Structure 1
Amino acid sequence: MGEEEGVTLEYTPTWVVAGVCTVIVAISLAAERVLHYTGVTLKRKHQKPLFEALQKVKEELMLLGFISLLLTVFQNVINKICVPADVTRHMLPCKLEKGHEFEKSATCSKNKVPLLSTEALHHLHIFIFVLAIVHVTFCVLTVVFGGLRIRQWKRWEDEIAKNNYDSRNVPKSKTVTDVHQHAFIKEHFQGLGKNSVLLGWLYSFVKQFYGSVTKSDYTTLRLGFIMTHCRSNPKFNFHKYMIRALEDDFKKVVGISWYLWIFVVIFLLLNVNGWHTYFWIAFLPFVLLLAVGTKLEHVISQLANDVAEKHVAIEGELVVQPSDEHFWLGRPRIVLFLIHFILFQNSFEIAFFFWIWVQYGFDSCIMGQVRYIVPRLIIGVFIQVLCSSSTLPLYAIVTQMGTSYKKAIFDEHVQVGLVGWAQKAKKKKGFRAAGNGSGQGSSHESTSTGIQLGSAFRKASTPEEIQPASVSENSK
């Protein structure tokens, strides 16, 4: 270890210490203020899901800070852990050249080396930080560009509201039509046949690359959702609900869950010279993304097939029946889990590439050969573009075709009003129970309150169905 590397604060000029501290503190405070004012803005605009996503980002930054603290505090302890030199000559990311000497610690005995050098620990520290930043950035970009695509559907929502309902909310007259004459059925059923399973999956695979959601898709799925979950409110703004549901899911995607950290550890373990793990593993999110997009398109086709097989002619508009049975294992949430993993794994690939490039150089042995690098980058860009332009919009609308609806069906202030109502009812129950000294009345009131709340949640599809006065009173 060189003499300059061993200089402590005792012999460091005070202007250097003060200057470095000033820069670090200034950058930290600036970042904190940006996050704070972003949160204030989101709350002022009543963007609760995005605000919660921002809180999730803060949690990830706090976790990174804790990891950084642990690596710094235990740096000397790790350096003092010594192992036989032969153990460290296996499963290396780069081929060990002849004459290469491992760094030896002053405290090591003969033929022993440190478990992890100071420099390697520092590089690992930087990689973890880069990974988290890239993941958050990619998630934000995906949701932003995907959201722009979804917001283009608003014109369809406005057109439906304008064409189908007048100021008195009088629906159009119903006519009996051949079910196969509907555009939705023509696109997803005719030409495929009932038994052409392979052809149907092939159609779903191809459709995700062009016009993943057409006007007939949106119109039909929207009507199916409304007729299933809020039949009493035909003016329900499905597009607004869908945007709120997507924002609510975004806060889950932006985080790095424990199982994703396990994936990072496994990849670092398998990054052995000659295995080209970084190349082969790039195909994992690629294949998963295509599978998710195909499945979501196939759900739409299944809805069309169900109607076409059961009806020859229908009266009025075409109505599909949402069901969890169309999704993997009957759970639409699995799609969100896969998208979360795809975005993280793609972020990991890109972060690892740039970390190696900046830290060791493009010609580093750990970077690999160009013939493996270029396809890897192309796949990463392709995943990001396809997920933003097709898969995420598909997820936003198709996962609404499950048996249940999401809590985003209620506007934020309606949720607050109902929660306030529940809290008031609970307080009244407590007062009456204390006054009567009997548990029977309390039990009866609790059951009654639960029934009323459940009824309110089932009926209140939009804020218009609850009187503003009652909402205002309950939210105080």
Structure 2
Amino acid sequence: MGEQEGEGTSFEYTPTRVVAAVCTVMVCASLAIERFLHYAGKKLTKDGRKPLFQALQKVKEELMLLGFISLLLSVCQSRIVTICVDEDIMKHFLPCALPDDKDHPNILRHLLENTESPVGICAQKGNKVPLLSTEALHHLHIFIFVLAIVHVTFSVLTVIFGGAKIRQWKKWEISIKEDESDSSKAAEPEFTNVRDHDFITKRFMGLGKRSEALGWLRSFAKQFYGSVTEPDYCALRLGFIMTHCRGNRKFNFHKYMMRALEDDFRKVVGISWYLWIFVIIFLLLNIDGWHTYFWIAFIPFMLLLAVGTKLEHVIIQLAHEVAERHIAIEGELVVKPSDEHFWFHRPKIVRHFIHFILFQNAFEISFFFWILVQFGPHSCIMGKLIYIIPRLIIGAFVQVMCSYSTLPLYALVTQMGSNFKKSMFDEHVQAGLISWAQKAKKKNALTSTTTKRQDGSGSSDGDGGGGGPRDSGPDAELHGIHIATDSQQGT
């Protein structure tokens, strides 16, 4: 009594102690996660780590989106499983080949005879089957949840390990400031042969225009060992300071770089709409015999190598420009940052590539463990062992390489664009600039309204005498703000 064949016992006939126990466990787990995120946010706010706090808020948004997806699937489940379609439609574009009916006669007969099940309901309408079964809907629900959690976790681990690598460069920053403050070294600047400079020697090494291919090969190999050296850091740091803050030679470039990385992490940790589109395309192409799951693993691998090679080549280009332009220099060697060295002249494209690489790699790992847990190691979707091992090796390689090489390269080299990021300013300075811009906009709007009223009343004197100064004041303020806040964060 109270049971539906194939569906199990309903809520009406389930012991209350079981219901209460399950609810207690779920509520406690949810509250524990919520409290952990809350205290983590308070800690980040107290430490002044606003970008990381915003990244945490982004994680909460993703969890809220997952909760809504779960709710939507649960509410619509009873409707979806009763949508019936022709059986022939469901025999194509399958992840696994259909087994012969003779291999599963009892299961098929049981489903067709159970008129209260979705299969039985559709069978009464003729040669029909459910569009999506309850079990398949449940598996899809779990996969989306696992994918989001793994992506957030992998992104956090990448930034933690990458940040640890970048923090090792702090000793170079300290060493540079000690050298600059050493009064004994404040002597007359001397002429130096450019080719004898460590940065040029290790990066340029006589490469000319005819050796472009050799430069790319060297860039490809360099990302695997010593991707950033002390001469690289010193040269790029000085180039940034002389371009963007020439009057402040004591500018803490390392601190700025860490703030910029934290700010970018806030954008990387989320799952953007185009990433969800990629998931849908993969689910569409995951057809039996195509081995899509195997071939798609090479996308983040190849893209990661391309990004690392490009970032290394930017450093070589900077060294090449100096070596081609000068034979000897007086004083320090200064490189010239420029957007021209990056893809489509936009350094921030690299961040989008890294975002996609991290998501794609998380997708590969989450899909593997989801198949392993849900269907077992011998599932047809999992494939043969010859396909499984390369996927796992590639996934581990991408994660380690992105953490210890590509991300530190990105943090340093993308500062070599034509503009600097808003992380140049401390939090209170950013807030002050934004407040100033808002006040200037209000003042400009008020001035424009006053001018229109004067025009309507026929006051030609007001137009001729006051138009110039009125326009130049607020517009000048707004123009200065745009330079300091908007256009300067082009990277």
Question: Which residue among 99, 102, 117 is the counterpart of 2:133?
Answer: 117
Structure 2 residue 121 is the aligned partner of structure 1 residue 107: yes
Spell out, residue by residue over 1:52-86, the C-alpha distance to the aligned partner (whole angstroms, 9 max, x if none): 10111111111111111111111011111111112
> Where do residues 60-459 of structure 1 align in structure 2 (5 Å cutoff)?
60-99=62-101, 100=104, 105-108=119-122, 109-166=125-182, 173-423=188-438, 444=469, 447-452=472-477, 455=480
Contact 1:164 1:172 in 2 (8 A): no
Q: Distance in 1 between matches of 2:137 and 2:31?
A: 27
Q: Once the 2 structures are TM-superposed, how far is the Cα of residue 396 of structure 1 from its aligned partner?
A: 0.3
Q: Distance in 1 between matches of 2:475 and 2:51?
A: 26
Q: Distance in 2 between matches of 1:346 and 1:36?
A: 28
Contact 1:332 1:399 in 2 (8 A): yes
- Per mean C-alpha deviation after superposition, the further-off stretch among 432-441 and 385-394 is 432-441
Q: Which residue matches 1:42?
A: 44
Q: Once the 2 structures are TM-superposed, how far is the Cα of residue 87 of structure 1 from its aligned partner?
A: 1.4
Q: Distance in 2 between matches of 1:107 and 1:60?
A: 37
Q: Distance in 1 between matches of 2:65 and 2:449?
A: 45
Contact 1:242 1:397 in 2 (8 A): yes
Q: Once the 2 structures are TM-superposed, how far is the Cα of residue 2 of structure 1 from its aligned partner?
A: 4.9
- Per mean C-alpha deviation after superposition, the further-off stretch among 293-302 and 194-203 is 194-203
Spell out, residue by residue over 1:34-68, the C-alpha distance to the aligned partner (whole angstroms, 9 max, x if none): 11111111111110100110111111111111111
**Alignment CA distance shift 1:370-1:2 (3 Å):** farther
Q: Report SS of the residue matched to 1:159.
A: helix
Q: What letter is aligned with 2:285? A: L
Q: Report SS of the residue matched to 2:90.
A: helix
Spell out, residue by residue over 1:221-246, the C-alpha distance to the aligned partner (whole angstroms, 9 max, x if none): 00000111111111111100000001
Rg larger in structure = 2
Q: Distance in 1 between matches of 2:92 and 2:140?
A: 19
Q: Once the 2 structures are TM-superposed, how far is the Cα of residue 323 of structure 1 from its aligned partner?
A: 0.6
Q: Report SS of the residue matched to 2:62.
A: helix
Q: Report SS of the residue matched to 2:210.
A: coil
Contact 1:430 1:442 in 2 (8 A): no
Q: Which residue matches 1:472?
A: none
Spell out, residue by residue over 1:374-403, the C-alpha distance to the aligned partner (whole angstroms, 9 max, x if none): 000000000000000000000000000001
Q: Report SS of the residue matched to 1:202.
A: helix
Q: Which runs of 5+ in 1 are unaligned?
A: 461-476
Q: Report SS of the residue matched to 1:83.
A: strand
Q: Distance in 2 between matches of 1:395 and 1:459?
A: 23
Aligned Cα RMSD in Å? Answer: 2.5
Q: Distance in 2 between matches of 1:35 and 1:346?
A: 25
**Alignment CA distance shift 1:79-1:443 (3 Å):** farther
**Alignment CA distance shift 1:459-1:354 (3 Å):** closer
Contact 2:443 2:474 in 1 (8 A): no
Q: Once the 2 structures are TM-superposed, how far is the Cα of residue 173 of structure 1 from its aligned partner?
A: 3.2
Q: Distance in 2 between matches of 1:423 and 1:279?
A: 52
Q: Once the 2 structures are TM-superposed, how far is the Cα of residue 28 of structure 1 from its aligned partner?
A: 1.1
Q: Distance in 2 between matches of 1:196 and 1:321?
A: 22
Q: Distance in 2 between matches of 1:447 and 1:39?
A: 43
Q: Which runs of 5+ in 2 are unaligned?
A: 113-118, 456-462, 486-491
Q: Once the 2 structures are TM-superposed, how far is the Cα of residue 4 of structure 1 from its aligned partner?
A: 7.7
Spell out, residue by residue over 1:136-161, the C-alpha distance to the aligned partner (whole angstroms, 9 max, x if none): 00000000000000010000001001
Contact 1:433 1:442 in 2 (8 A): no
Spell out, residue by residue over 1:4-24, the C-alpha distance to the aligned partner (whole angstroms, 9 max, x if none): 834332222222222222211
> Where do residues 465-476 of structure 1 align in structure 2 (5 Å cutoff)?
none
Contact 2:440 2:477 in 1 (8 A): no
**Alignment CA distance shift 1:459-1:57 (3 Å):** closer
Q: Once the 2 structures are TM-superposed, how far is the Cα of residue 456 of structure 1 from its aligned partner?
A: 7.2
Question: Which residue among 5, 10, 17 is the counterpart of 2:7?
Answer: 5
**Alignment CA distance shift 1:327-1:422 (3 Å):** closer
Contact 2:52 2:265 in 1 (8 A): yes
Aligned residues: 459
Q: Which residue matches 1:17?
A: 19
Q: Once the 2 structures are TM-superposed, how far is the Cα of residue 364 of structure 1 from its aligned partner?
A: 1.4
Q: Once the 2 structures are TM-superposed, how far is the Cα of residue 366 of structure 1 from its aligned partner?
A: 1.5
Q: Report SS of the residue matched to 1:177.
A: strand
Spell out, residue by residue over 1:399-452, the C-alpha distance to the aligned partner (whole angstroms, 9 max, x if none): 000011100000111112233444556677788999998697799567424534
**Alignment CA distance shift 1:10-1:171 (3 Å):** farther
**Alignment CA distance shift 1:447-1:3 (3 Å):** farther
- Per mean C-alpha deviation after superposition, the further-off stretch among 177-186 and 6-15 is 6-15
Spell out, residue by residue over 1:248-271, the C-alpha distance to the aligned partner (whole angstroms, 9 max, x if none): 000111011111011101111111
